[in-house]
Structure formats: C-alpha cells, structure tokens
Amino acid sequence: MKLEGKVAIVTGASRGIGLEVAKQMGQQGATVIINGLNADEGAKRTKELTDSGIKAEFMAFDVTDEAKVTENIKAVGDKYGKIDILINNAGGLGGRSRFEEMTTEFYRSVLALNLDSVFFASRAAIPYLKKGSHPTIINVTSNAAWNAGGPGAGMYGTSKAGVHTITRALAKDLAEYGIRVNAVSPGTVDTDFHSQIKSTKPEVFQSWAKNIMLGRLGQPKDIASVVAFLASEDAAFITAETIQIGGGQALGI
C-alpha cells in the first residue's frame, strides 16, 4: 500500500471531503488522525473507519484555537515520533455578509477558520514533519479563491486566496527540509457545505451542474483521490502547486 507506515493528520474530517480523505489514505495504509469539533460524531466516524480495517484516531479541537491546535498536534508528533502528512482541510463559509454591513468580528472569524487554521497547524507540525518520510502538507482551498466567491461570500474567497499564497510561501520555506507543500482547489462538491441551499432551493442547487464543464457536481471521493495521490511518493516532485479540480464553474460557491 502506497501510504503504509505513514502518520497523517486530517483537520475537519468528521464528514465530507475530510472524512473521505482520511478513508482513502487509511485504505492505502496510513494511520489517520481525524479532527473535528463534535466528539460524539468524531467517535462514530472513527469507529466506521476502524471497523473497516483502517488505523484511525479522533481528536476534538477547534482549529482556530492556537493553543489547542499546538497541543494536539504536538501530542500526535510525540506519540508517533513523527508526522508524515498534514491535510489542512478544515474551513467553511462562516455565513454571508456584504462588505458594507460586515462586522470586524465576522471578517476575523472567516479569516481564522480558513487561513489562521492553516498557519497554526502547519507551524505546529513542522518539527515532526522534519522527522517524517517524504513529508508533505496539503491545503484544501476553493475555486472561490479565483473568482472571489459569490455575493456575500467575499471574505470566504479572500481567505481561500490567502491559502493559495501561504501554500506557495510554505513550499519555499520548507523545501530545504524535503517537505512538499501543495493545495487542491475544488469546484462545487456535493457535501454538507451546500446543505442549506440544497434543502431550501433545490432547483438552484441542481442548476449548478450546468455551469460545470463536466456536467456534474464533484463528490468527496473525487477530491480525496487527488489528495491521496499528492500525499504519496508518486508525487515526490510536486510542490508549490495548486491543483484545480472541477473547473469551468461560473458560480461563486
């Protein structure tokens, strides 16, 4: 198996893309530490993974809490003596607000969720990634970074554009240690991220596929397979790249 013996942390992995990433990497032999906020949900998902033969653990912590991120990632690194893979998947829209009415609190909360979290986790993991085998950081961003998001989602797009830039900056900073850093930039993926509009405006949700070149929305497994490839040694010469998945979408998010 391509990831046998690897230790991987996946933030925001209680559901959706993050959970599928953990599943696919676990199937390839990695020990996966999944993160989320809800301990009950995390325990349930961890059991699902372990029942299928995957080596998995769950850690409940808020990725915007600098101290908790550092504490928990250090605990993983100390336990295994290394970290091979860090997937910064946690993030979200955080709500919608146009700039004229936007509060500073909202502005900072969206940046914290999508960008601070990448910084906190990456910084904490670096000493342990240096001890890993073909270590890598993979950040999950969004096509909203290219088009600035839809109305009211400007801060989401802005924060995800920051993830693109910090990916390249980290790659330059860590290349001398053999640590690769890449990002994947999904288009519209059918996850809980879109649950509200899917339930309240199903016709709008269904129409989105018409604006995608492939004629369908993405599924978590579509993204996870690319992430698992980037985490493997098959991608040993890929760094400072942002791989766009499901392009050709004309809608913001």
Which residues are tagged catalytic?
156
Specify which residues 111 forms β-bridges with: none
**Angle between helical axes of 220-231 and 16-27 (0-180°, round to 10):** 50
Residue 244, CB-side half-sphere exposure with 13 Å CA sphere: 12
CB 31 within 8 Å of CB 80: yes
Residues 6+ apart with CB under 8 A from 31: 6, 7, 8, 55, 56, 57, 80
Plot region of 170 (φ>0 → left; ψ -120 to 50 → alpha; else → beta): alpha
CB 182 within 8 Å of CB 243: yes
> Which ranges constitute the DSSP H helices of the chain?
16-27, 39-51, 66-80, 104-111, 117-129, 144-147, 154-174, 195-200, 202-207, 220-231
Distance CA(49)–CA(58), nearest Å, equals: 11
Provide the 10 A C-beta neighbour count for residue 176.
Answer: 7
CB 35 within 8 Å of CB 61: yes
